[in-house]
Structure 1
């Protein structure tokens, strides 16, 4: 029987609690409706009030907090996009730097070749000028003296000088040489 009495006591206490909760819930609902109709936004004001209380503010998320979190997520996504773009641009810049280095090396090589060619042209020009001076000298010499000197020079030099001489001077010089030397030089003149 004591058990029954305890159970009835629990039921009666529970029924009082339920009976007390119903009017409380009903009055809160009515107050909410009235305040909403008056334009006071009870949920927003309550949230703002609770958010100012120390400790409670960590448990309540406001619209500003949600908006801030969304903005933060958007900014972090943008930062990630910008970082990816930066990495891509850095990679392209590295490739372009490599291309520039290769092209600069090619320019250096081409400049070296150009300097070499210019040096060769200068050497050839000097040789041509020297040859012209020598040819002028041989043109002014007596054919017999010129034949004697050309006989003593190398065959290559003799051929170069004879090639550059006018044909009249050449024929007179060759006529004053020994026949074997004149034949050898004539053959080289024809083949060059």
Structure 2
């Protein structure tokens, strides 16, 4: 009868023999050749990648020069695209900010136009009131008008006098104290009336 232990050890011995006699010396020879060629100035890696491209199975492992160039080009294009997208985002943000400023300025213009319209209406109302008051001074005696105008604010007094005819204005100023009349006359002259 055959001993099973011996058969198993024979199989193990064949595997060990393959590794110790063929595989390990072959790896050692390849490594030694690689080192010698590298010292001699031959770039073994480039040579291997060139010739590996010709071998069908190995060619898929080593990329060709064209594939490397394409990958580099794709990388550059992706980088450029990322930069362009960043610039676009910045420009969109600036546009949003400028749109907000435009809206704010349009709102301010609307407010200012409303104030201007209100002020124009107020000026017209004030002018109508001044004319009304001035016309009431036409019916008052010059002595009484002079006493009233003397007690008014100077700007109001000048405005009232401007709206009176020249002869009535002269009569009222004639009834005033000369110093007060001189002040009002100089104010009338500086206002261009």
Q: TM-score with structure 1 length normalisation?
A: 0.50
Larger Rg: 1
Q: TM-score with structure 2 length normalisation?
A: 0.49
